[in-house]
Amino acid sequence: MIRFARLMIMACLVVVGVMLLGLRLPVAVAQSNCSPAYPDVCIPPPPPDLDCGEITHRNFRVLAPDPHRFDGDKDGIGCEAQ
């Protein structure tokens, strides 16, 4: 229980410090259940399999593996705006 409390305090201090410095945490850090393949946005891993038309994010970084296949041309950018 004490260990959990220490972790929570450390997490709060990191968030407060980031807010004071005016920095943004990547969404993947701020939220859970986010696929590590999309480190700058929070998109859950499959299932279900998502398509670009089902999410609001555009032009985001994609790392392998790309479970939703957002990066069709394999250039590391997902759901590229036309």
The model carries a pTM of 0.60
E strands in the chain: 60-61, 77-78
Per-residue pLDDT of the chain (82 residues; tens, 9 = 90+): 676 555 556 655 555 554 555 555 554 444 579 999 999 999 999 999 999 999 999 999 999 999 999 999 999 999 998 7
Q: Are 70 and 57 in contact (CB under 8 A)?
A: no
3-class DSSP state for residue 19? helix
Q: Which domain holds residue 24?
A: 2-78
Q: How many domains is the chain built from?
A: 1
